[in-house]
Amino acid sequence: MEEVSIEKQLKGRDFLTLADYKQEELSYLLKLAEDLKKGLKANEQEQPLKGKTLGMIFEKASTRTRVSFEVGIYQLGGMGLFLSSSDLQVGRGESVSDTAKVLSGYLDGIMIRTFSQSVVEELAEQASIPVINGLTDMYHPCQILADFQTIQENKGGLRGVKLAYIGDGNNVAHSLMLGSAIMGMDMCIAVPKGFEPDPVVTNKAQMLADLHGGNVQITTDPELAVDQADVIYTDVWTSMGQEKEKTLREEAFSGFQVNRKLVSLAKADAIIMHCLPAHREEEITAEVIDGKQSVVFQQAENRLHAQKALMTALMG
């Protein structure tokens, strides 16, 4: 049987969760992101998506996701079409299925940033073009591609790297767990009791870690998590849609701030990451996020390059 190249494996695929992708496929996307970044910096940008259009559906506010996809598709020779939920008939009762079929006749790909993972999955099931999960309450796989590109740039690789995640067991934590497990990393999550990641995702990540030689642990002790860490990662304590829980969460997470004291317990060359937006002096101090070990703005820029790699592979 003829072996199918990774390029052919990826073309036309959906990108809903990292668990759907093999280690070699994620490695390919990261290498492509690196090459596209180098090409852009050298003013040698190719345009493999010339004449193609990406529909971008937004039910949640966005800075990095919208700008990186819209600029990215433009740099690749295509066009991005911003579609807020209020602009679409789906916001007035049209079914996700009908919307998927209609958009498939106009577009070459869909990126959606919404609340429910089930909406993204139904959209992908009914669409005949690639669907990219730009964020749901359950997963944020595009963010993790950029995160891993940033870690590779600073640490030379991913396998064996220890990543300490301090904070809420949210969509970013879920995708980091899955990605770290697939890539053979050592991940430790420190989270207050009652705010742990979804147990189904945790079990899946631990199974993938066993398969790929990685490790996924959960603790309530931030100091234990950062011990010998190569990367310290945090996110906001209160995500979009959780605003009513803000006071409760601030109390629960009060001992989980990434500050100078906590950073001092990691490796001396540990890097500091945050998916942004940051609430300075809550989950992370200004001193740390603006310090020499911080790579958060390199991480944010890499959203552009990682997204371009993803669109090139799936839509090219």
Is 276 one of the annotated binding-site residues?
Answer: yes
Is 16 one of the annotated binding-site residues?
Answer: no
Is 235 annotated in the active site?
Answer: yes
Is 188 one of the annotated binding-site residues?
Answer: no
Is 183 one of the annotated binding-site residues?
Answer: no
Is 159 annotated in the active site?
Answer: no
From the list 13, 149, 186, 275, the catalytic residue is 275
From the list 23, 188, 235, 257, the catalytic residue is 235
Is 89 one of the annotated binding-site residues?
Answer: yes
219 and 188 Cβ atoms separated by less than 8 Å: yes
From the list 143, 152, 257, 299, the catalytic residue is 143
Is 235 one of the annotated binding-site residues?
Answer: yes
Is 186 annotated in the active site?
Answer: no
From the list 13, 140, 249, 305, the catalytic residue is 140
Is 62 one of the annotated binding-site residues?
Answer: yes
Is 311 one of the annotated binding-site residues?
Answer: no
From the list 174, 249, 274, 303, the catalytic residue is 303
Is 92 annotated in the active site?
Answer: no
Is 66 annotated in the active site?
Answer: no
Is 239 one of the annotated binding-site residues?
Answer: yes
Is 140 one of the annotated binding-site residues?
Answer: yes
Is 48 one of the annotated binding-site residues?
Answer: no
Is 220 one of the annotated binding-site residues?
Answer: no
Is 303 annotated in the active site?
Answer: yes
Point out the annotated binding site for carbamoyl phosphate.
62-65, 89, 113, 140-143, 275-276, 303
- Annotated active-site positions, please? 113, 140, 143, 235, 275, 303
Point out the annotated binding site.
62-65, 89, 113, 140-143, 171, 235, 239-240, 275-276, 303
Point out the annotated binding site for L-ornithine.
171, 235, 239-240
